[in-house]
Amino acid sequence: MTSKLHLFMASALASTVAFGAQAQENSVTVVLSEELEIVEPCSATKSNVGRVLFQNISETVTEMDPETGLQPRLAESWEDMGNGTWRFTLRPDVNFSDGTEMRADDVAHSLVRMKSPDIACEIGAKFFGGIEITSNVIDEYTIDVTADPAQPILPMLMSTVTVTPSDTPLDSFVDHPIGTGPYTFDEYVRGQSITLNANPNYWGDQPTVQSATYVFRGDSAVRAAMVAAGEADIAPNIALQDATDETLDFSYPNSETLFLRIEHAQAPLNDRRVREALSLAVDREAFVGTILANGTLLATGMTPPSTIGYNRDLAPYPFDPDRARELLAAAAADGVPIDTEITLIGRTNNFANVLETMEALLAMYQDVGFNMKLEMVEVAEWLERYAKPFPEDRGPQLIQAQHDNANGDPVFSMYFKYHSEGQQSGLLDPTVDAMIADATAATGDERAAKWSELFTYLHEESIADVMLFHMVGFSRVNERLDFTPSIRTNSELQLSQIQFN
Q: Are strands 342-347 and 481-482 parallel, antiparallel or unpaired?
A: unpaired
Q: Are residues 399 and 345 in the same domain?
A: yes
Could you tell me if 323 and 373 lie in one domain? Answer: yes
Give this prediction's pTM: 0.81
The helix or strand, by DSSP H or E, that contains position 272, with its residue range, turns out to be helix 272-280
Residue 243 shares a structural domain with residue 259: no
User: Residues 473-485: pLDDT tens digits?
Assistant: 899 999 999 999 8
pLDDT tens for 77-108 read 999 999 999 999 999 999 999 999 999 999 99
Cis before 182? omega within 30 = no
**Would you state the pLDDT for residue 69?**
83
Same domain, 96 and 195: no
* pLDDT value of residue 407: 78
CA angle 213, 219, 221 (to 5 degrees): 95
Instruction: Please report, for the chain, how many H helices and E strands are present, in that order.
Output: 13, 19
What pLDDT, on the 0 to 100 scale, is given for residue 23?
Answer: 46
- Domain assignment present for residue 169? The answer is no
Is residue 40 situated within a structural domain? no
| CATH code of 406's domain | 3.10.105.10
Asked if 342 and 428 sit in the same domain, the reply is yes
On whether both 342 and 425 belong to a single domain, the answer is yes
Q: Say if residue 466 is in the same domain as residue 362.
A: yes
Distances (CA, A) of 111 to 45, 176, 181, 314, 337: 15, 19, 18, 37, 45
Count of domains for the chain: 3
Q: Classify residue 165: in a domain, yes or no.
A: no
Q: In terms of residue numbers, what domain contains 193?
A: 26-33+181-248+478-500
pLDDT at 24: 66
- Virtual torsion, Cα 20, 26, 27, 30, nearest 10 deg: 150
Low-confidence ranges of the chain (pLDDT < 70): 1-24
Q: What is the pLDDT of residue 388?
A: 87
pLDDT, residue 28, reads 97
